[in-house]
Amino acid sequence: MPAAHPVVPSLELAGGRSIPQLGYGVFKVEDDVAADVTLQALEAGYRHLDTAKVYGNEEGVGRAIREAGVPREELFVTTKLWNDAQGFDDAIAACEASLERLGLDYVDLYLVHWAVPSQGQYVEAWKALIELQKRGLVRTIGVSNYPAPQLAEIIEATGVVPAIHQIELHPYFQQRELREIHAQHGILTESWGPLGQGKSDLLENSVITDIAAAHGATPAQVVLAWHLAHDIVTIPKSVTPSRIVENLAAVELVLTSDEIAAIDELDRPDGRGGADPATKTA
Ligand code: NAD
């Protein structure tokens, strides 16, 4: 009998499809390493993978998918359109090239990686994703790193609401304003850098470590459980086998409302760790 995997909850995406709420991200993982660690993640029970053209590891992720032998319909694969291909025809070609590298006929979710407002192509890129969905190359479309005005603009220009918005989000940077906008439009929030990318003392914060001790859990599990409790889709990354398993097991940790409220208090005005989407250049 294969070992039982944690049961990962799914959230419904606009359009009726669903997405496993906890997935496996592979930012900054070299292509040959990606094949190995993604296979470990699939064997541990992850069914949702998050890559991007710019990560340079779509081929490795694709090799892991083939090697794992998990039926395609049980997998949820995301990749992203890089900033240098936001023109309509370039975006169509970029998606086709990503599928080729992944060895897949379609991806479950395709995201515009960054709005790059100064480039002025974020509406055109969104129109290309709408076309890709019509052509069946991508099942669901969304965006990543769109400031509120650009998010509003693509909806206004096309009438098509992104199913999901992937943004930097963690207890030190909770993105309340964007989450409120998402709720108004029925957009799911997906957090990147959910553990703070190892850039801050988040996992050593005593609010987190005290809750972890109370549950016999790890700080990373507490932080991930907080994302899940807020109906956020999240995609932690680790290349360490024990942490790959540990992070997935966060789906089994249920925090009390007081614990969630205590973590809510950790939001900081200067908590952003990555680039600001409003000023990010290509
Ligand atoms: P993360 O918050 O997932 O942090 C990853 C780091 O946390 C690891 O490198 C490791 O140092 C540490 N870590 C992981 N598990 C741990 C554990 N159990 N205990 C202690 N430390 C642990 O940051 P991330 O990788 O940047 O973000 C997750 C995923 O989000 C990425 O892999 C990628 O798929 C996606 N992402 C998207 C964007 C975007 O612009 N859309 C940007 C960054 C990341």
Assign residue 184 the CATH number of its domain.
Answer: 3.20.20.100
- Among protein residues, the one with the nearest Cα to ligand 1's atom 4 is 197
Is residue 210 in some structural domain? no
Q: Cβ(209) to ligand 1 under 6 A? A: no
pLDDT tens for each residue of 111-140: 999 999 999 999 999 999 999 999 999 999
Distances (CA, A) of 217 to 92, 144, 220: 44, 31, 8
Burial 147-159 (b: 16+ CB within 10 A, else e): beebbebbbeeee
Rounded CA-CA distance 58/26 in Å is 9
Amino acid at 123: V
In the reported structure, the alpha carbon of residue 189 is separated from the centroid of ligand 1 by a whole-number distance in angstroms of 16
How crowded is residue 97: how many other Cβ atoms within 10 Å of its Cβ?
A: 13
Rounded CA-CA distance 246/236 in Å is 11
What's the domain count of the chain? 1
Beta bridge partners of 110: 79, 141
- Among protein residues, the one with the nearest Cα to ligand 1's atom 9 is 238
- Strand, helix or coil at 239? coil
Looking at residue 2, its pLDDT comes to 57
How many residues does this entry show for the chain?
282
Looking at residue 3, its pLDDT comes to 62
- Does the annotation mark 106 as catalytic? no
Is residue 14 in some structural domain? no
Task: Give me the residues of the chain with pLDDT under 70, please.
Answer: 1-3
Is residue 211 in some structural domain? no
Q: Cβ(200) to ligand 1 under 6 A? A: no
Is residue 154 in some structural domain? yes
Q: Cβ(171) to ligand 1 under 6 A? A: no
Rounded CA-CA distance 81/124 in Å is 12
- pTM score, two decimals? 0.98
Ligand 1 nearest-atom number relative to CA 247:
18
Is residue 116 in some structural domain? yes
Is residue 114 in some structural domain? yes
Q: Cβ(249) to ligand 1 under 6 A? A: no
Domain range holding 118? Answer: 19-197+234-239
Looking at residue 16, its pLDDT comes to 87
Q: Cβ(271) to ligand 1 under 6 A? A: no
The HSE-up count of residue 239 (CA atoms within 13 Å, CB side) is: 12
- Which of 79, 178, 192 for a ligand 1 pocket mutation test, highest count of atoms within 8 Å of Cβ? 192
- Strand, helix or coil at 105? coil
In the reported structure, the alpha carbon of residue 237 is separated from the centroid of ligand 1 by a whole-number distance in angstroms of 4
Is residue 78 in some structural domain? yes
Is residue 97 in some structural domain? yes
Between the CA atoms of 39, 44, 48 and 49, what dihedral angle is there, to the nearest 10 degrees? Answer: -30
- Among protein residues, the one with the nearest Cα to ligand 1's atom 20 is 220
